[in-house]
Amino acid sequence: MSRHELTAAEVADRVGGRVAGDGTVRITGVESLEAAAAHQLSFLGNPRYRGQVLPSQAGVVLVPEDFEAAPPAGRAWVVCRDPSAAFCAIVAHFAPPPPPVAPGRHPSAVIAADARVAESASIGACAVIEPGAEIGERTVIGAGCYIGHGATVGADGHLYPNVTVRERCRLGERVIVHSGTVIGSDGFGYVPGQDGHTKIPQVGIVQIDDDVELGALVAVDRARFGRTWIRRGAKIDNLVQIAHNVVVGEHCLIVAQVGIAGSSRLGRGVIAAGQVGIAGHLTVGDGATLMAQSGLSKDVPAGTAVMGTPAVEHRRYARNLYNVGRIDELAGRIKALEAEVADLKARGAGGPPSKPA
């Protein structure tokens, strides 16, 4: 028997829910509704999976309060306010512990004599910390990371292996950065000329505030001057491009492969879905939603949902889609009118009404 085994009743206790069905059902792990076996717990987090609850083999399912069907014999529901959050708690119960963090400085790390690295920080193998850099208390710098001259990483951060932070960039507290991400590369700026483009120096920095998480393989360019700024609590998914002098507002959610061009500013709580592109020098208001693959060419007011390239208010986008779909029908009506008008003209021209065909 697993050390972590739980009964349905124990699950209900842990998540503040109530049991429907057999509270003694035992589970030893978690799985999706589709894949779960009798000794596993699952959850109904997205209404689209509602029809999978009864057919599922899961011994215990976390369900929302409005889920009405009763559990079959030998199974149990745990009814709770937020099955998705409850599921997180049970997942954590069964999850293997995270890999241990080796305390201190790996002997293969290359740490400048005048870098200020907290005693409680962990510096991984082959990491490089340049002169003047600072690493806060309990922060983990993964293997192969590069922290440039004078860059700072606040307390309780975690940079996974092979992250690059260029000179003078500043990361706040509790910042998480996934592998491969590059912070502080030069912005893309040139003065065009007859014999080629002359590079505009990019002498600003990147500032990343507290509680930000950056995914894998994200590029955040340093400012031309001043700062590129990712504000508190923003969460950025993989392969996102943040150009120079962009401001990403507090608690924004930026989904994978979004690109934000230079000097654009996102307000608080903006959601940019996957593969959205935002042209330069735009303002996106608080709480706006940018639907997947949209391409913004002008400002977006607060609270608005937009879609398409160029992006328009999403109901207008839907109306346009509907209208494109009925062009064939409209063309058919035009053709019918043309025939009727020709017929009317023919009658009028020839005198008496034409006979029916």
Residues 193-252 interacting with its own copies (rule: CB under 8 A): 196-197, 199-201, 203, 211, 213, 215-217, 219, 221, 224-226, 232-233, 235, 237-239, 241, 243, 245, 250-251
Termini Cα distance of the chain:
87
Least distance CB 247 / its own copies (angstroms): 11
Angle at CA 188, nearest 5°, toward 195 and 289? 140
What are the residues facing 7 on neighbouring strands? 26
Please confirm, yes or no, whether 244 is among the known catalytic residues: yes
What are the residues facing 296 on neighbouring strands? 278
Q: Which stretch binds its own copies (CB under 8 A): 12-20, 50-58, 62-70, 316-324?
A: 316-324
- Catalytic site residue from 4, 93, 197, 244: 244
78-82: long-range contacts, CB 8 A cutoff, minimum separation 24: 78/8, 78/11, 78/12, 78/15, 78/17, 78/18, 78/19, 78/20, 79/17, 79/18, 79/19, 79/20, 80/12, 80/15, 80/16, 80/17, 80/18, 81/16, 81/17
DSSP 96: P
The pair of three-digit structure tokens given for residue 62, joined into one six-digit string: 């976390």
Number of residues that bind its own copies (CB under 8 A): 127
Least distance CB 182 / its own copies (angstroms): 4
Q: Provide the phi-psi class of 255: left if phi over 0, else alpha when psi is between -120 and 50, else beta.
A: beta
Q: Which of 136, 277, 285, 287 binds its own copies (CB under 8 A)?
A: 277
Least distance CB 4 / its own copies (angstroms): 13
Decide: residue 220, CB within 10 A, 0-12 exposed, 13-18 middle, 19+ buried: buried
Q: Which stretch binds its own copies (CB under 8 A): 13-21, 55-63, 68-76, 317-325?
A: 317-325
Identify which of residues 24 and 84 has a Cβ nearer to its own copies in the complex: 84
| 55 scored as a contact of its own copies (CB under 8 A) | no
Q: Which stretch binds its own copies (CB under 8 A): 10-18, 56-64, 73-81, 188-196?
A: 188-196
DSSP states of 35-56:
T--TTEEEE--SGGGGGGTTT-
Positive or negative, the CA dihedral 347, 353, 355, 357 is positive
Write out the binding residues for its own copies, residues 77-136 only, by CB under 8 A: 82, 84-85, 88, 91-92, 95-96, 98-100, 106, 108, 110, 124-126, 128, 130
Q: Which stretch binds its own copies (CB under 8 A): 7-15, 52-60, 71-79, 328-336?
A: 328-336
| 31 scored as a contact of its own copies (CB under 8 A) | yes
DSSP 89: H
| 46 scored as a contact of its own copies (CB under 8 A) | yes
Asked whether the beta carbons of 236 and 215 are under 8 A apart, the reply is: yes
| 284 scored as a contact of its own copies (CB under 8 A) | no
Q: What is the C-alpha to C-alpha distance for residues 267 and 126, in angstroms, rounded to an integer?
A: 38
| 1 scored as a contact of its own copies (CB under 8 A) | no
Asked whether the beta carbons of 269 and 287 are under 8 A apart, the reply is: yes
Least distance CB 72 / its own copies (angstroms): 23
Decide: residue 332, CB within 10 A, 0-12 exposed, 13-18 middle, 19+ buried: exposed
Per-residue binding letters, 136-165, with its own copies (x by CB under 8 A): ------xxx-x-xxx---------xxx-x-
Identify which of residues 71 and 277 has a Cβ nearer to its own copies in the complex: 277
Identify which of residues 4 and 72 has a Cβ nearer to its own copies in the complex: 4
Residues involved in catalysis: 244
